[in-house]
Amino acid sequence: MRLLLPNSTAGARVSDAGPLEWEERSPCVEGIIPVIYYSVLLGLGLPVNILTAVALSRLAARTKKSSYWYLLALTASDILTQVIIIFMGFILQMAILAREVPHAFIHTANVLEFAANHASIWVTVLLTADRYVALCHPLRYRMLSYPERTRKLIAAVFGTALATGIPFYWWLDIWHDSQPPTTVDKVLKWFHCFTMYFIPCSIFLATNSVIVCKLKWGKRVDGHRRRVGKTIAMLMAVTAVFTLLWAPRTFVILFHLYMGSTNKDRRLHVALNLANMIAMLNTTVNFFFYCFVSKTFRRTAGEVIRSCSPFCTGHGQPPANGCFLHSALKPLGLLENVSL
Protein backbone atom coordinates (compact mmCIF):
# COMPACT_ATOMS: atom_id res chain seq x y z
CA MET A 1 0.00 0.00 0.00
CA ARG A 2 1.07 3.64 -0.45
CA LEU A 3 1.07 6.02 2.49
CA LEU A 4 0.99 9.68 1.48
CA LEU A 5 3.10 11.94 3.63
CA PRO A 6 2.41 15.62 4.32
CA ASN A 7 3.90 17.98 1.75
CA SER A 8 5.78 15.21 -0.03
CA THR A 9 6.40 14.96 -3.70
CA ALA A 10 5.78 11.29 -3.49
CA GLY A 11 4.75 8.79 -0.90
CA ALA A 12 6.27 5.94 0.99
CA ARG A 13 5.43 2.30 0.65
CA VAL A 14 4.47 0.14 3.56
CA SER A 15 4.47 -3.58 3.09
CA ASP A 16 3.36 -6.28 5.44
CA ALA A 17 6.81 -7.81 5.31
CA GLY A 18 8.91 -4.82 6.12
CA PRO A 19 9.15 -1.32 7.62
CA LEU A 20 8.42 1.98 5.97
CA GLU A 21 10.39 2.40 2.76
CA TRP A 22 11.39 5.95 1.92
CA GLU A 23 10.81 7.54 -1.45
CA GLU A 24 11.08 11.12 -2.59
CA ARG A 25 10.06 13.55 0.13
CA SER A 26 10.26 17.28 0.33
CA PRO A 27 12.20 19.21 3.02
CA CYS A 28 8.85 19.62 4.76
CA VAL A 29 8.63 15.94 5.68
CA GLU A 30 9.01 16.50 9.39
CA GLY A 31 5.51 17.95 9.53
CA ILE A 32 4.29 21.32 10.70
CA ILE A 33 7.24 22.25 12.95
CA PRO A 34 9.58 23.47 10.14
CA VAL A 35 6.68 25.39 8.56
CA ILE A 36 5.99 27.22 11.82
CA TYR A 37 9.69 27.80 12.48
CA TYR A 38 10.47 29.28 9.06
CA SER A 39 7.28 31.34 9.07
CA VAL A 40 8.16 32.87 12.45
CA LEU A 41 11.77 33.39 11.36
CA LEU A 42 10.67 35.18 8.19
CA GLY A 43 7.92 37.16 9.93
CA LEU A 44 10.35 38.38 12.59
CA GLY A 45 13.60 38.53 10.66
CA LEU A 46 12.49 40.31 7.50
CA PRO A 47 10.96 43.40 9.20
CA VAL A 48 13.90 43.54 11.61
CA ASN A 49 16.43 43.42 8.77
CA ILE A 50 14.53 46.08 6.79
CA LEU A 51 14.59 48.31 9.88
CA THR A 52 18.31 47.61 10.28
CA ALA A 53 18.96 48.45 6.62
CA VAL A 54 17.14 51.79 6.84
CA ALA A 55 18.92 52.73 10.08
CA LEU A 56 22.35 51.80 8.72
CA SER A 57 21.72 53.65 5.45
CA ARG A 58 20.99 56.82 7.42
CA LEU A 59 24.12 56.39 9.52
CA ALA A 60 26.22 55.65 6.42
CA ALA A 61 24.94 58.81 4.74
CA ARG A 62 25.56 60.96 7.83
CA THR A 63 28.95 59.71 8.95
CA LYS A 64 30.56 58.53 5.66
CA LYS A 65 32.10 55.59 7.56
CA SER A 66 33.08 52.52 5.54
CA SER A 67 32.01 50.07 8.22
CA TYR A 68 28.42 51.24 7.98
CA TRP A 69 28.45 50.28 4.31
CA TYR A 70 29.76 46.82 5.15
CA LEU A 71 27.07 46.36 7.79
CA LEU A 72 24.44 47.61 5.33
CA ALA A 73 25.66 45.13 2.69
CA LEU A 74 25.61 42.33 5.26
CA THR A 75 22.01 43.21 6.13
CA ALA A 76 21.05 43.33 2.45
CA SER A 77 22.51 39.87 1.89
CA ASP A 78 20.59 38.58 4.91
CA ILE A 79 17.38 39.98 3.41
CA LEU A 80 18.15 38.24 0.10
CA THR A 81 18.81 34.99 1.96
CA GLN A 82 15.51 35.22 3.79
CA VAL A 83 13.51 35.98 0.65
CA ILE A 84 15.22 33.48 -1.67
CA ILE A 85 15.91 30.57 0.68
CA ILE A 86 13.32 30.79 3.44
CA PHE A 87 10.39 32.16 1.45
CA MET A 88 10.95 30.98 -2.12
CA GLY A 89 12.93 27.83 -1.38
CA PHE A 90 10.99 26.51 1.57
CA ILE A 91 7.71 28.21 2.43
CA LEU A 92 6.53 28.84 -1.13
CA GLN A 93 7.89 25.79 -2.93
CA MET A 94 7.55 23.16 -0.23
CA ALA A 95 4.88 24.34 2.20
CA ILE A 96 2.45 26.38 0.09
CA LEU A 97 2.73 24.71 -3.32
CA ALA A 98 3.65 21.31 -1.82
CA ARG A 99 4.15 19.78 -5.22
CA GLU A 100 6.71 19.14 -7.90
CA VAL A 101 7.95 22.29 -9.63
CA PRO A 102 9.82 22.60 -12.94
CA HIS A 103 13.44 21.47 -12.70
CA ALA A 104 14.61 24.74 -14.27
CA PHE A 105 13.00 26.65 -11.40
CA ILE A 106 14.73 24.45 -8.80
CA HIS A 107 18.15 24.79 -10.44
CA THR A 108 17.78 28.56 -10.90
CA ALA A 109 16.74 28.86 -7.26
CA ASN A 110 19.89 26.91 -6.33
CA VAL A 111 22.03 29.51 -8.09
CA LEU A 112 20.32 32.40 -6.27
CA GLU A 113 20.41 30.63 -2.91
CA PHE A 114 24.13 29.91 -3.04
CA ALA A 115 24.87 33.39 -4.41
CA ALA A 116 23.03 34.96 -1.45
CA ASN A 117 24.92 32.73 0.99
CA HIS A 118 28.29 33.53 -0.56
CA ALA A 119 27.54 37.28 -0.54
CA SER A 120 26.58 37.19 3.13
CA ILE A 121 29.67 35.38 4.36
CA TRP A 122 32.20 37.23 2.21
CA VAL A 123 30.79 40.62 3.15
CA THR A 124 31.42 39.50 6.73
CA VAL A 125 35.00 38.67 5.70
CA LEU A 126 35.35 42.20 4.28
CA LEU A 127 34.03 43.65 7.54
CA THR A 128 36.52 41.57 9.51
CA ALA A 129 39.39 42.73 7.31
CA ASP A 130 38.22 46.34 7.62
CA ARG A 131 38.18 46.11 11.42
CA TYR A 132 41.57 44.41 11.46
CA VAL A 133 43.19 47.19 9.43
CA ALA A 134 41.40 49.90 11.44
CA LEU A 135 42.53 48.52 14.79
CA CYS A 136 46.01 47.25 13.91
CA HIS A 137 47.07 49.68 11.16
CA PRO A 138 45.14 52.93 11.77
CA LEU A 139 47.39 55.14 9.63
CA ARG A 140 47.09 52.83 6.64
CA TYR A 141 43.35 52.55 7.26
CA ARG A 142 42.92 56.30 6.85
CA MET A 143 44.43 56.10 3.38
CA LEU A 144 42.68 52.93 2.22
CA SER A 145 39.19 53.19 3.61
CA TYR A 146 36.68 55.61 2.11
CA PRO A 147 33.06 55.18 0.96
CA GLU A 148 33.69 55.03 -2.80
CA ARG A 149 36.29 52.28 -2.43
CA THR A 150 34.07 50.42 0.02
CA ARG A 151 31.09 50.45 -2.35
CA LYS A 152 33.28 49.11 -5.18
CA LEU A 153 34.51 46.27 -2.97
CA ILE A 154 30.97 45.41 -1.95
CA ALA A 155 29.80 45.44 -5.57
CA ALA A 156 32.71 43.15 -6.48
CA VAL A 157 31.75 40.72 -3.71
CA PHE A 158 28.13 40.57 -4.85
CA GLY A 159 29.20 40.07 -8.47
CA THR A 160 31.63 37.34 -7.50
CA ALA A 161 28.99 35.69 -5.31
CA LEU A 162 26.61 35.51 -8.27
CA ALA A 163 29.35 34.08 -10.49
CA THR A 164 30.28 31.43 -7.90
CA GLY A 165 26.62 30.52 -7.55
CA ILE A 166 26.27 29.55 -11.22
CA PRO A 167 28.01 26.14 -10.91
CA PHE A 168 25.43 25.17 -8.30
CA TYR A 169 22.85 24.99 -11.07
CA TRP A 170 24.03 21.36 -11.21
CA TRP A 171 23.83 20.83 -7.44
CA LEU A 172 22.39 17.38 -6.64
CA ASP A 173 19.19 17.59 -4.61
CA ILE A 174 20.22 16.24 -1.21
CA TRP A 175 16.62 15.46 -0.34
CA HIS A 176 16.09 13.11 -3.28
CA ASP A 177 19.51 11.52 -3.67
CA SER A 178 18.48 8.09 -4.86
CA GLN A 179 21.77 7.74 -6.79
CA PRO A 180 25.32 7.88 -5.41
CA PRO A 181 26.96 11.31 -5.71
CA THR A 182 28.86 11.97 -8.91
CA THR A 183 32.31 13.54 -9.15
CA VAL A 184 30.72 16.88 -10.04
CA ASP A 185 28.48 16.68 -7.00
CA LYS A 186 31.43 15.89 -4.71
CA VAL A 187 33.40 18.82 -6.12
CA LEU A 188 30.45 21.19 -5.62
CA LYS A 189 29.85 20.08 -2.05
CA TRP A 190 33.49 20.43 -1.07
CA PHE A 191 33.68 23.80 -2.85
CA HIS A 192 30.58 24.91 -0.94
CA CYS A 193 31.98 23.81 2.42
CA PHE A 194 35.33 25.50 1.82
CA THR A 195 33.95 28.80 0.47
CA MET A 196 31.09 29.01 2.96
CA TYR A 197 32.74 27.72 6.11
CA PHE A 198 36.34 26.52 6.30
CA ILE A 199 38.08 29.43 4.53
CA PRO A 200 35.99 32.25 6.11
CA CYS A 201 36.26 30.72 9.58
CA SER A 202 40.02 30.40 9.17
CA ILE A 203 40.18 34.10 8.27
CA PHE A 204 38.01 34.99 11.28
CA LEU A 205 40.22 32.98 13.62
CA ALA A 206 43.46 34.45 12.25
CA THR A 207 42.37 38.11 12.22
CA ASN A 208 40.61 37.98 15.59
CA SER A 209 43.63 36.29 17.16
CA VAL A 210 45.97 38.96 15.81
CA ILE A 211 43.66 41.73 17.03
CA VAL A 212 43.48 40.28 20.53
CA CYS A 213 47.24 39.73 20.71
CA LYS A 214 48.06 43.24 19.52
CA LEU A 215 45.67 44.82 21.99
CA LYS A 216 46.91 42.61 24.81
CA TRP A 217 50.63 43.02 24.29
CA GLY A 218 50.78 46.34 22.51
CA LYS A 219 51.58 49.56 24.30
CA ARG A 220 48.05 50.80 24.61
CA VAL A 221 46.63 53.07 27.26
CA ASP A 222 43.67 51.90 29.30
CA GLY A 223 41.35 54.44 27.70
CA HIS A 224 42.09 53.07 24.25
CA ARG A 225 41.42 49.53 25.43
CA ARG A 226 38.04 50.58 26.76
CA ARG A 227 37.18 52.32 23.50
CA VAL A 228 37.96 49.29 21.36
CA GLY A 229 36.24 46.86 23.71
CA LYS A 230 32.93 47.20 21.90
CA THR A 231 34.64 46.77 18.56
CA ILE A 232 36.18 43.46 19.62
CA ALA A 233 32.95 42.28 21.22
CA MET A 234 30.89 43.03 18.11
CA LEU A 235 33.38 41.53 15.69
CA MET A 236 33.80 38.34 17.67
CA ALA A 237 30.07 38.00 18.32
CA VAL A 238 29.17 38.21 14.62
CA THR A 239 31.89 35.80 13.51
CA ALA A 240 31.47 33.37 16.42
CA VAL A 241 27.71 33.12 15.94
CA PHE A 242 28.20 32.42 12.24
CA THR A 243 30.78 29.73 13.04
CA LEU A 244 28.51 28.02 15.56
CA LEU A 245 25.27 28.22 13.58
CA TRP A 246 26.73 27.02 10.28
CA ALA A 247 28.87 24.23 11.73
CA PRO A 248 26.05 21.62 11.95
CA ARG A 249 25.02 22.10 8.32
CA THR A 250 28.58 21.89 7.04
CA PHE A 251 29.37 18.65 8.82
CA VAL A 252 26.00 17.06 8.01
CA ILE A 253 26.59 17.75 4.31
CA LEU A 254 30.00 16.08 4.42
CA PHE A 255 28.67 13.16 6.44
CA HIS A 256 25.84 12.73 3.95
CA LEU A 257 28.30 12.85 1.07
CA TYR A 258 30.24 9.82 2.23
CA MET A 259 28.24 7.99 4.88
CA GLY A 260 24.53 7.99 4.12
CA SER A 261 21.47 9.00 2.13
CA THR A 262 18.47 11.01 3.27
CA ASN A 263 16.25 8.57 1.39
CA LYS A 264 17.57 5.60 3.35
CA ASP A 265 18.37 7.05 6.76
CA ARG A 266 15.61 9.04 8.42
CA ARG A 267 17.94 10.26 11.16
CA LEU A 268 20.18 11.91 8.57
CA HIS A 269 17.15 13.51 6.99
CA VAL A 270 16.06 14.96 10.34
CA ALA A 271 19.63 16.10 11.09
CA LEU A 272 19.87 17.97 7.79
CA ASN A 273 16.50 19.59 8.44
CA LEU A 274 17.61 20.78 11.87
CA ALA A 275 20.99 21.94 10.56
CA ASN A 276 19.31 24.10 7.91
CA MET A 277 16.96 25.57 10.50
CA ILE A 278 19.88 26.47 12.78
CA ALA A 279 21.91 28.00 9.91
CA MET A 280 19.03 30.25 8.81
CA LEU A 281 18.82 31.68 12.33
CA ASN A 282 22.03 33.55 11.50
CA THR A 283 20.06 35.89 9.20
CA THR A 284 18.15 37.39 12.13
CA VAL A 285 20.52 37.81 15.08
CA ASN A 286 22.75 40.70 13.96
CA PHE A 287 20.10 43.34 14.71
CA PHE A 288 20.13 42.36 18.37
CA PHE A 289 23.93 42.56 18.50
CA TYR A 290 23.84 46.08 17.09
CA CYS A 291 21.19 47.14 19.61
CA PHE A 292 23.10 45.62 22.50
CA VAL A 293 26.43 47.24 21.61
CA SER A 294 25.53 50.63 20.16
CA LYS A 295 23.39 53.31 21.73
CA THR A 296 23.67 55.27 18.48
CA PHE A 297 22.16 52.42 16.48
CA ARG A 298 19.33 52.06 19.00
CA ARG A 299 18.55 55.75 18.70
CA THR A 300 18.70 55.67 14.92
CA ALA A 301 16.40 52.63 14.80
CA GLY A 302 14.04 54.45 17.14
CA GLU A 303 14.10 57.46 14.84
CA VAL A 304 13.17 55.24 11.89
CA ILE A 305 10.28 53.70 13.83
CA ARG A 306 9.01 57.08 14.96
CA SER A 307 9.25 58.52 11.45
CA CYS A 308 7.03 55.69 10.17
CA SER A 309 4.54 55.85 13.02
CA PRO A 310 1.23 57.68 12.39
CA PHE A 311 1.06 58.39 16.12
CA CYS A 312 4.31 60.33 16.11
CA THR A 313 4.16 64.06 16.78
CA GLY A 314 4.15 66.01 13.57
CA HIS A 315 2.74 63.13 11.49
CA GLY A 316 5.80 60.96 11.70
CA GLN A 317 8.45 63.66 11.36
CA PRO A 318 11.60 63.32 13.49
CA PRO A 319 12.24 65.86 16.27
CA ALA A 320 13.06 69.29 14.92
CA ASN A 321 15.31 70.40 17.75
CA GLY A 322 18.31 68.61 16.26
CA CYS A 323 19.30 67.02 19.55
CA PHE A 324 19.32 63.53 18.07
CA LEU A 325 21.21 64.43 14.93
CA HIS A 326 24.26 65.37 16.94
CA SER A 327 24.40 61.99 18.72
CA ALA A 328 23.71 60.11 15.48
CA LEU A 329 26.86 61.58 14.00
CA LYS A 330 28.89 59.69 16.57
CA PRO A 331 30.31 56.50 15.11
CA LEU A 332 28.80 53.13 15.92
CA GLY A 333 30.59 51.23 18.68
CA LEU A 334 32.42 49.42 15.91
CA LEU A 335 34.06 52.64 14.78
CA GLU A 336 34.65 54.75 17.80
CA ASN A 337 38.37 54.03 17.95
CA VAL A 338 39.00 55.47 14.49
CA SER A 339 38.72 59.16 13.69
CA LEU A 340 38.87 60.08 10.03
* Model confidence pLDDT, tens digit, residues 315-330: 445 444 444 444 443 4
- Is 281 inside a domain boundary? yes
Residue 319 within any structural domain of the chain: no
Residue 122: inside a domain, yes or no?
A: yes
Which residue type is seen at 320?
A: A
Is 10 part of any domain? no
Residue 227 within a domain: yes
Domain contains 325: no
CA-closest candidate to residue 249, choices 198, 185, 286, 204 = 198
What is the structure's pLDDT at 20? Answer: 39
Please check whether residue 17 lies inside any domain of the structure: no
Q: What is the DSSP letter of 213?
A: H
If one counts the domains in the chain, the total is 1
279: exposed, middle or buried (Cβ count in 10 Å: 0-12, 13-18, 19+)? buried
User: Do 142 and 62 meet the contact criterion of CB atoms below 8 Å apart?
Assistant: no
For residue 56, the one-letter residue type is L
Q: What is the CATH number of the domain that holds 241?
A: 1.20.1070.10
Cβ(291)–Cβ(297) below 8 Å: yes
Q: Which residues contact 39 (CB under 8 A, 6 or more apart)?
A: 91
Task: Provide the pLDDT for residue 74.
Answer: 93
Q: Which of 31-40, 84-93, 312-321 has the lowest mean pLDDT?
A: 312-321
pLDDT of 41-50, one tens digit each?
999 999 999 9
CA distance 5 to 28: 10
Residue 69 has pLDDT above 70, yes or no: yes
pTM above 0.85, yes or no: no
Q: What confidence category does residue 73 fall into, taking pLDDT thresholds of 50, 70 and 90?
A: very high
Angle between helices 32-63 and 266-280 (to 10 degrees): 30
Can you give the residue range of the structural domain that contains 154? Answer: 30-304
